Amino acid sequence: MHVHSGVVPTKSRAWHHLCRGHTSVPSTALQWNCFTQLPFLSAREIQGFNMHVGTSLHLGRKGGLGYGLLVQVKMRPMDRGLRLEVVVPFLGKYRPFVGRCCQRCTPKSWKSFFHKHLTSLGFCNVIKITEENTRYRGWLVRRLCYFLAVADWKLGADTHRNLLERIFHNKRVQEIVSQRVSQGKGDAPPVSRTQWMRKIQGILCQMQSSLSPFLLRFCHWVLLKLLNQMFLSVVLHKGKLEMVHKAAQLPDVPMVFLSTHKSQLDGLLLPLLLASQGLGLPRVTWEYKAYTVKHRALLTRLGGVFLPPGVEQTSDSEVGALSRAVLASYVQELLLSRRALLIFLEEPFSDVPLQRSASSREWLSLVLDVLHAGAVPDVTIVPVGLAYDVAPDANRREQKNRTEPLSLWTLLWTICRAACRGFGCVRVDFAQPFSLQEYIANNLFRHDRSGKPLEDILLPELLGKCCSVLDCEKVERRSPGPPSAVALTAEQQTLVDSLSLHALNAGVSCSPIMAVGIMSALLLHKHREGVFLSRLMQDFAGLTEEILLHNYDVGFSGQVRDVVLHALFLLRRCVSLHRLSLGDVLVAPKRTEAAVLELSHHSAALLPVFTQEAVGVCAINALLVELLPFLGSPEQLRDVVLVQEELHNKVLTLVQLLPRDVVLRQPCQSVYCYCQVVLDKLIQSGLLVAEEVPSDRLVCDTTQRRFTENPLWKVMDDFGDSDSDGGEEGSKRCFRVSQTEPCSSLFVFLGCLLGPLPKTLERAAAFLWGLEGPQPESQYLEKLHQFLLRKAKEDSSFECANRTLAAIATHIFRDLGVLREQPGPAEPILHLSEVFIARENQEKLEKFIQQFVYL
């Protein structure tokens, strides 16, 4: 049974027949028509190709949450066609309910809006408007259904008409006015009320404008038409929509949507989706410097809000103080009017998941300040996850001038080009809403102030001076930025960071994995040299099963053959197909810079699914690299037995080295518990096998005891001896790496999935050898990026040569104490610390990072 129209390569009658949920699909060009634009093979040639092995994914529903059962089917060639034979169904893995809020931080919200109380079933295509979406029926209505539906949407009330007056009488603004009057000189004329109102109005005009209902409805009608040309479907789960509707009915409680950010289209798509489903039109936060004046003027008329430039440019001047006061007052009035606010948490054009933007922290601090002031009783936080098959503006990610403002004409030209090219499907998911008041109360109660900088945790072990305590919380250093609109204490700033990370983790966990992401990961990290199409379909089905087993959803349904061909069609610029004399098709990814970068960007969507296993694989690789010089040949690594304590130590080292955003560690989860979960995941996936070690076996154990004498596994292990002493040498728990073919293949895939980041860190450490004197941060990043590009051209590893990874490496080296920064006239100045000026310590740094690079 097919859940939604999420996978349709073309808009032929057969594909629509498939998407409407029919179990029998006509045997027309449905199987192969998505290949008509691919090189080397025509549609007729591919139709003559006999499939040796194929699979099907039949995703059904259960409990209203799109549960689905995976069924594997073998296709055998016969004289008169293909015969389908059901082999073995997958282990009954249903589509999970994703996006639950944290039970530890918000236990009351975790019980509310639960999915068992939902009555709506299935999915809906938001951009598919019929006469059923209107109040009328008839032949003419079917032709004008888009116009009539948009005209009936309830956009919600705008902010108060006397907004300017209310902001002027706000407490913060009045403090600025009184302070200005008290500091004024006797000869200077007093500033009148009219002049103050003009200044406030000028700041408000830079932030927002009054909504234009006609322009809103016209733009939404045009956008619906364009979305139908650009995408096959924009899918939304009805049950999760009902959950948000239930949360919106709370009296006097505004809603704040915290969304992931995958494309510049998100700021237009999400308001249209919320307005079409009766949730009202939210105010959308946009980046001020990313758009030109005309573009900003249009966005403000459509509900966009910007941080005023005075907040970023000045600190103690009158303009800066007044801008911050007006901004805080505006957010307070916005929430008082129960107008929803949409905040994007991620940096735009980021190639690595979970890169939080600085502006999102600013907006969240403003929301927290309104709640602390008692202006509203509570705020409902709704994380949002977005997933594209292919984002429309993906080609802008690696442009050198991507930091330049986006003009209105550039946007229109991009939309026109996107309308002529298909981008697959879009999936929007809401995570479970939770109470901000409850989150604050629980986090302040559990707030731990015993943290250490990364320099104090890892630097002694890196230099070999002493063994540091690794199982302590890492305090990540914040770069000095512009003054905040509200004065927050260090504890409140930590609360803002943990809230943004919590919401972003929830948004990423509820975001489904699209077919293009799975296909890109297989081609880039498993079959870089090429693969037969029949084998590719088997690996695609196996990886889909692993994703569902990890409690993540997928954004497609249907036969694997059709899904794979759909993904290859969308990746046609990155792959080449070759028909072989054996009757199979060879799929080979291209090695060009553009192709590798695009595949790397799409495959990054799988990193949150397998992050913990990938961290564990890189830690195992570090242990094996240390042991390799003492062995006669690499084949002897198969007999190596790993001690849990040593493996735990390596995992801790890598987790502390990488940013919390990358390793997906919740703020309420300690680093020790995270590492325990990593080991559990390795055992559950079969990569590690417990083993009793005879006296003649080689055991990898070089660490000293740094944790409790009785580890948690000693208490919870049902198979252990209760009378054994945890401190004795013979009672150590040991593992070996599984040597079976599926586990070995998964081991390599996971190592390559996280591999670009450690490899970039290794090359960034080699870049320090030629660093010449202090230089501005932007200049340092540009030189590092050029160095990474030169290295990537040697082995076609262009996935390690993007600006996002270069920025992450710089941030890690700053936290580690490798780089020091000092204030500059326009931006920070970076230079090597006194410790790493010595070439010997630079070699130690490179060797320390190199152990985690999977080879």
699-700 and 641-643: which strand pairing?
parallel
User: Could you tell me which of 346, 353, 348 has the C-alpha nearest to residue 610?
Assistant: 353
What percent of the residues of the chain are helix, what percent strand, and what percent coil, each to the nearest 5? Answer: 50, 15, 40
For the chain (length 855 residues), average pLDDT per consecutive 10? 37 34 30 33 37 38 34 41 39 64 89 71 85 83 86 77 85 82 57 82 88 89 90 90 90 93 90 91 87 86 86 64 88 91 82 70 92 92 94 58 68 74 88 93 69 86 75 72 67 87 92 94 93 92 90 88 92 90 86 92 93 94 84 70 88 91 86 92 90 61 45 41 42 82 90 92 92 88 93 89 89 91 85 91 92 84
Query: CB of 193 within 8 A of CB of 173?
Result: no
Kindly state the tokens that stand for 207.
């932030």
User: Could you tell me which of 353, 652, 620, 616 has the C-alpha nearest to residue 474?
Assistant: 652
CA–CA dist 523, 753 (Å, integer) = 11
Q: Which amino acid is at 698?
A: L
Q: What's the pLDDT at 479?
A: 60
Q: Which amino acid is at 505?
A: N
Which CATH code fits 756-850? 1.20.120.1790
Query: CB of 674 within 8 A of CB of 665?
Result: yes
Q: Which amino acid is at 57?
A: L
DSSP conformation class of 829: E
DSSP conformation class of 484: P
Q: Which residue matches tokens 């034979």?
A: 85
Q: What's the pLDDT at 317?
A: 66
Sequential DSSP letters for 364-411: HHHHHHHHHTTSSS--EEEEEEEEESS-TTGGGTT-TTTTS-B-HHHH
Phi, psi of 449 (to 5 degrees): -100, 5
Query: CA dist 153 to 120, 238, 279, Å?
Result: 21, 18, 10
DSSP conformation class of 35: G
CA–CA dist 767, 785 (Å, integer) = 10
CA–CA dist 367, 825 (Å, integer) = 32
Query: CB of 519 within 8 A of CB of 395?
Result: no
User: Could you tell me which of 609, 593, 635, 652 has the C-alpha nearest to residue 749?
Assistant: 609
Q: Is the torsion defined by CA of 703, 708, 711, 712 positive or negative?
A: negative
Sequence ranges of the domains in the chain? 13-98+512-606, 107-183+190-439, 611-718+730-749, 756-850
Q: How many other C-beta atoms are found inside a 10 Å radius of the C-beta of residue 199?
A: 20
Kindly state the tokens that stand for 389.
């098959």
Query: CB of 679 within 8 A of CB of 500?
Result: no
CA–CA dist 130, 132 (Å, integer) = 5
Q: 424 by DSSP, 3-state: which?
A: coil
CA–CA dist 626, 607 (Å, integer) = 26
Among left, alpha and beta (phi > 0; psi -120 to 50; other), residue 122 is left
Query: CB of 721 within 8 A of CB of 733?
Result: no
Helix H segments across 53-118?
Answer: 107-111
Q: What's the pLDDT at 564?
A: 93
Residue 246: its H or E element = helix 238-248
pTM recorded for the entire structure? 0.85
CA–CA dist 634, 617 (Å, integer) = 17
Q: Which amino acid is at 141?
A: V
Phi, psi of 54 (to 5 degrees): -145, 165
Query: CB of 215 within 8 A of CB of 307?
Result: no
Q: 292 by DSSP, 3-state: which?
A: coil
CA–CA dist 416, 225 (Å, integer) = 12
Q: Is the torsion defined by CA of 801, 807, 811, 814 positive or negative?
A: positive
Q: What's the pLDDT at 804?
A: 86
